[in-house]
Amino acid sequence: MKKCVIIRNIYNKKAMNESDAVRTFLHSHSVSSEMLDYSGDDGTTVLPDCDFVITLGGDGTVLFASRICAPRGIPIFPVNFGEFGFIAGISKDNWEQPLLRWLDGNLSWTERNLLYGQVIRSGENGVFTAFTSTALNDVVVRTTGVAQLAELQVSADDEPFGKFRSDGIIVATPTGSTAYSAAAGGPIVDPSVQALILSPINAFSLSNRPIVLKPDTLVSVTVLQSRGASMAITFDGQQTFMLQPEDVITITSANEKVRLIGCETSVFYSALRSKLQWRANMQEN
């Protein structure tokens, strides 16, 4: 390992304070480093050349790093300074030992699926791709206003699912199954499982239920006229693109994968026990 980029969340004071200690540690092990501050994702960030990335922040910082690291196969060492830590699996109080193991070649990465989404729009000059991006957690198509109902035509591999009247829909990876998808009533899925999870948001009909699909499914969503409701698509809640009626959104697994260091399945279940208080429930019983 010769060079590292440290991505630090500028809104997280503890992460910013720890960045110098991480840089000093790397220097003491003959690894040069460069700081990259994360304050939001406008899709223009260029990742400098490096062998690996360290993120100092919460899961959101890892989501940002995933979009710029995955296309180049650069692994991410995620140190958790956030609240949840479902993705960022390295403790902020104990990052030195696992980082040393990584530098010595004794710690490996796991691969996580990304989603690839695109917005296809018809214009005066024909059909064109208006927007594309990737997401580690989820791609969400939803209304942007209060008390507005979307009408969406949904299909999977050309199999029609019918019209969804709801606040929108979520297509999530297993990694993202603990995020917005879970809040909308979707299942929690082990991140090592290969799948897509489609969940409606506040569906008008009880017949619109979450469904788990095979990972290479092509989900297609057509935005119908929705009585003046404004619509948007978001990628990991960080990149947003406004939609128009008759836009077609396609979502499937991306070709590239995210490489996360020290984020074995045991870290995921440990976060579940901690954040969902499973251990406390078992003790009470």
Higher pLDDT, 226 or 185: 185
Q: What is the mean pLDDT of residues 30-56?
A: 95
| Cα four-point dihedral sign 254, 260, 263, 268 | negative
Listed in order, strand segments (DSSP E) in the chain are 3-9, 32-38, 52-57, 76-80, 90-91, 109-123, 126-135, 138-143, 150-156, 159-166, 168-172, 196-201, 211-213, 219-223, 231-235, 239-243, 248-261
Active-site residue, selected from the candidate residues 59, 138, 167, 236: 59
Give the pLDDT confidence score for residue 260 in this predicted structure. 97
- Percentage of residues of the chain with pLDDT beyond 70: 97
Please tell me the distance from the alpha carbon of residue 252 to that of residue 166, in angstroms, as a whole number.
21
Over 80: is that where the pLDDT of 54 sits? yes
Q: At residue 204, does pLDDT exceed 60?
A: yes
- What is the pLDDT averaged over residues 230-250? 96
Query: Which one-letter DSSP state was computed for residue 266?
Result: H
Structure tokens that stand for 179 in this block: 């995020």
Phi-psi region of 209 (alpha: psi -120 to 50; beta: other; left: phi over 0): beta
Per-residue pLDDT for 231 more than 70? yes
- Residue 279's pLDDT is 58
Strand partners, 87: none
Residue 14 has pLDDT above 80, yes or no: yes
Which among 278, 249, 272 has a CA at the least distance from the CA of 153?
249
Q: What pLDDT, in 10s, does the model give residues 136-177?
A: 999 999 999 777 788 999 999 999 999 999 999 999 999 999
Task: Please give the mean pLDDT across all residues of the chain.
Answer: 92
Distance of alpha carbon 253 from alpha carbon 284, whole angstroms: 41
The two structure tokens encoding residue 229: 């409701």
- Asked about 20 being catalytic, the answer comes back as no
Tokens of 150: 């979307």
